[in-house]
Amino acid sequence: MGANNSKRKGQLVSIDIGSRGVKFSVGEAYNGRIKLAACHAETMPADAYENGIILKFDVVQQVISDALKKYHIKQKNAVVSIESTEMIKREMIVQRVPVEDMISLITYEVKQYLPIDTSNYVIQYKELPPDEGQEASKIKVLMGALPNDMVEAHLNLLEACGLKPIAMDMHSNGLEKLIKWMRQIESYSQAKTCAYIDLGHKMMDISIFENGEYKFNRIVKMGGNDFDKVLMHHLEIDQAEAEKRKMKISAGALRKAMESGKLDAFLSDDESVKATVIKDTLQYFDESVDEIGKVFKYYTSRSSENKIDQIFIYGGTSRFKDIDALIQEKLEIPTEALKTINCVEGLSKIGNDDLSLYVNAVGALIRY
């Protein structure tokens, strides 16, 4: 269904669960616009949730339930959005059949080519643009298979919090819907091929779109948590303090400090500690960008026509000062932080935080 024909479904609460935090977006999405009523974020205790797996159900339930009360969120209809390397994604070309038979056909094809028991997975798909020269009798799809127990755990979680689950979404799927709506507005970048990188706490989620159409996705198990460990180890501080300090750090200033030998750019009284932290910090930045570069290289190697014209970054770790400039300098691709979304109204509702924290939660509000 086209974005401009989406039906009005009323306000929802969308919950994006990650390893270090939970983001809530309350709003309504229809006719190519998202009207936000509120956005909030809460910290997740360590080791309670990781990679789409609820490790401590009671703890996660308590965080969400307390936040619903704290922020006076009354909406009961809820969508949960996650991302996990446990999800199996494959592009497939299959015979075109009636829509009601498509899942059965795809499930059969998965059984033939993947060593999994399909009865243990929830399988969904979406149609992709056809390849050049593709037979009219064939259809290209992106298949996604998520473990049953992961789906059930999240739906049970919402119910335990007094919510009515109406959908479970993946970050990459919500992002795709959001991009299609953004591109309908002239003020948005019309670069042909864009990479969107969610710089999260324990992973980087890299999605590539060509003319607004999904092309590629990879998850890299590396995130802001790796940098937190540098600060925690060398400065002997806890994670909460490390997260506060890293938001004050400028990647560009640190590089200049290291090159000039003037280490005042970092908060520490010990010059040797300053030097070590700056060195390890720059190594973290370099390794992170190198991993992104490897994903891009793989994507561009698949076809001589593949290239990346623009990079957008978002998520908690994107709030490092100058990290967009660092990525742009190393990869030689225009890069900017995704701090505003042109199809979203009510941005004043998110308080002091910028929208980059809520991209996944906001995208999940779009229900076709």
pLDDT at 236: 79
The pLDDT, as a whole number, for residue 274 is 67
Q: Which helix (H) or strand (E) holds 68?
A: helix 57-70
**Residue 345 corresponds to which tokens in the numbers above?**
């109204």
Q: Which CATH class is domain 189-340?
A: alpha beta
Q: Which helix (H) or strand (E) holds 50?
A: strand 49-50
- For the chain, where do the domains classified as CATH 3.30.420.40 start and end? 189-340
Which DSSP string do the residues of 178-221 spell out, in sequence order?
HHHHHTTSTTS---SEEEEEEE-SS-EEEEEEETTEEEEEEEES
Output the pLDDT for position 190. 67
CATH 3.30.1490.300 range(s) for the chain read 88-147
Sign of dihedral through CA atoms 217, 333, 337, 45? Answer: positive
Q: Check residue 5 and give its pLDDT.
A: 44
DSSP state of 303: -
Residue 222: predicted pLDDT: 86
Q: How far apart are CA 197 and CA 292, in angstroms?
A: 9
Distance CA 224, CA 221 (A): 10
Q: What is the pLDDT of residue 206?
A: 95
- For residues 104 and 96, what is the distance between their CA atoms, to the nearest angstrom? 12
Check residue 113 and give its pLDDT.
87
pLDDT of residue 8: 67
Instruction: Divide the 368 residues of the chain into consecutive groups of 10 and give the mean pLDDT of each group.
Output: 53 93 94 92 92 96 97 96 92 93 94 91 90 88 94 97 95 91 75 91 91 88 81 78 73 71 58 72 87 95 90 88 89 90 79 78 90
Q: What is the pLDDT of residue 93?
A: 93
* Length of the chain counted residue by residue: 368
Residues 6+ apart with CB under 8 A from 205: 83, 171, 172, 197, 198, 217, 219, 315
Burial grade of 207 (CB within 10 A; 0-12, 13-18, 19 or more): buried
Domain topology for 88-147: Dna Ligase; domain 1 (3.30.1490)
DSSP-assigned letter for residue 290: H
Write the DSSP string, 83-117. Answer: --TTSEEEEEEEE---HHHHHHHHHHHHHHHSSS-
